[in-house]
A and B are shown apart, each in its own frame.
Chain A
């Protein structure tokens, strides 16, 4: 078996394209993922057309709000591209230069201010979107919805605070500016105090004594109830509070998960393609019958191919992780666990590749088959529960269980991050798959003769 292993390494060395791909592929993946993780997500570009006359203040309840700061905050979440007309905004959206356009109409400020008046009108923001691309459309809708929800929340906070101020004035008294005039408001608390001070002076048999008592009681009850109204008002601004409790699973960080996905995809393609091609090559070169005529047992040949796959998977995946460590932190302290995950994943992928190589019998056909099977399985295995119908997810669970990608990803996540899944079960799963695919490969190569 040793000499077969050496022979395969010699053949790989003589195939510069294959070797280059095997080295360049993990490095390219590492660089791409590294840049993606280190740069963070790009902000969507949105055209911004402000029709509000410059310098228009936003005054709610006599208080002037900072509009410039609001725009800055908005444009920190999206990449605002200022445009000078609605037509320009429309053209940019149509041409795909921006994902959407946000138009603040002239009367936007007036409408917001009217919310604090007796004749409120609904402020409206206009949004232009290009929905030719469903993915982009979804992204834009989500972003715009989030921004509008947040703006609504801010405004409702201001209006609520204003209403609370009015309530405080009504309760405790004070000064109110109305139509340019300053009015003194007595307040329920002062009213109650004044009436309680007057009450002893009124004879008990006076016809006013009962009426006075009723007014004092009303003032006390009104004050107490309005006191309760203030927390009620503040709860309107934040009607729902999230109390999150994790009952199952402790997910790894997004970075670790992204690295695990990249490493597993690299591991899968490199190993499956190499082993499938290498086994199919034995038949294509007509060497299979010569080898298995007594020189090498068929099982030994398959074991050698799987060992080759494992060796390659270790080299390629570690190369990729080393490249990634230039951009993000890799927990090298967990190296034994990472190595265990790579070896287990490599064994299962190699056995899977051997089954493909045995079934395809030709190198080109095996490469095509490897791509055709591996790629959709990788995508399907990344679908999470709750994102598709339960029946479909049951099918996906079966696919995850039958093919090595899902457990290999779990093992890699567990190896890379302490918060990831425990390693034991995925490794056992991969070992079972390695044996099962090894048996399938053994059956498949009977057709080689």
Chain B
């Protein structure tokens, strides 16, 4: 089995350089929210969240449990409707990759990709299947049932399905949850390559090291409130008196300072 994920130039650009390096943060937002609010019964999951993401940007949404990360992503994906506020989406599809692999375990890898390619009304489903098999480096396992694959490989297919329609924006909900370190590294190589190709990637994570390492911008949510929008060094700098030695300590101090 191939050891790394392959990557391709995205349709939004031929560059394979990483975002943040080539100055892709500049320009208009591809996806943007204004005053996004959502409540589940008495619990307020989101409280007026504003943010935007540019083409090719890698945005990490972080926060403690129950902060509203998954709710925000599911509203961006169009799965849930906000109680108030607006979401400006790019024309075409937004790729959605839920935390748990959303695929049929009794279908083969190729059948899963083919099914969703057809449902996405991709012009040439077979070509898309081949392309994704190549990108995920799972060509040799194309006829294996998805349920027989490791968690990491299932997550690859999960992401590949989200990419079938070649979306301008890809939403990843806890993409590395349950993966071992090697699988994580492969996953992030692949995601970085996507962003380098011009795809805007918004991902949620509990892993602060991962957020610091791969998120070119961070969005900190706590109790549904958007507390911070900036880079990791900016977050560190926001708590100069805390004496935090690393990002994790800075993050905790930041939350404590703001009453969370």
Contact = CB atoms under 8 A, between A and B. Distances in A.
Interface in A377-402: none
B107 A11 contact: yes
24 contacts: A3-B119, A7-B107, A7-B111, A10-B111, A11-B106, A14-B107, A14-B145, A285-B103, A285-B104, A286-B100, A286-B102, A286-B103, A287-B102, A287-B104, A289-B96, A289-B102, A290-B102, A290-B161, A293-B78, A293-B96, A294-B78, A295-B116, A449-B74, A449-B80
Contacts of A289: 74, 77, 79, 96, 98, 102
Interface in B90-118: 93, 96, 98, 100-107, 111, 115-116, 118
B140 interface: no
Contact of A7 (B77, B93, B115, B145): B115
Contact of A11 (B80, B98, B104): B104
A296 interface: yes
Given A293-B77, A449-B79, 6 more contacts: A7-B111, A285-B103, A285-B105, A286-B100, A286-B101, A296-B119
B211 to A, nearest CB: 24
A233 to B, nearest CB: 80
Nearest to A281: B104
A291 interface: yes
A28 B154 CA distance: 39
Interface in B112-148: 115-116, 118-120, 145
Interface of B: 74, 77-80, 93, 96, 98, 100-107, 111, 115-116, 118-120, 145, 161
Interface string A270-297: 0000000000000001110111111110
A3 B101 contact: no
Interface in A289-319: 289-296
Contacts of B74: 289, 449
A355 to B, nearest CB: 22
A287 B111 contact: no
Contacts of A287: 102-104
B104 A7 contact: yes
A15 B145 CA distance: 12
Contacts of B118: 3
Nearest to A13: B106
Most B Cβ at <10 Å: residue of A4, A6, A290, A449: A290
Nearest to A294: B78
Contacts of A290: 96, 98, 102, 116, 161
Contacts of A3: 115, 118-119
Nearest to A292: B79
Contacts of A292: 79
Contacts of A285: 102-105
A358 to B, nearest CB: 17
A10 to B, nearest CB: 6
A426 to B, nearest CB: 36
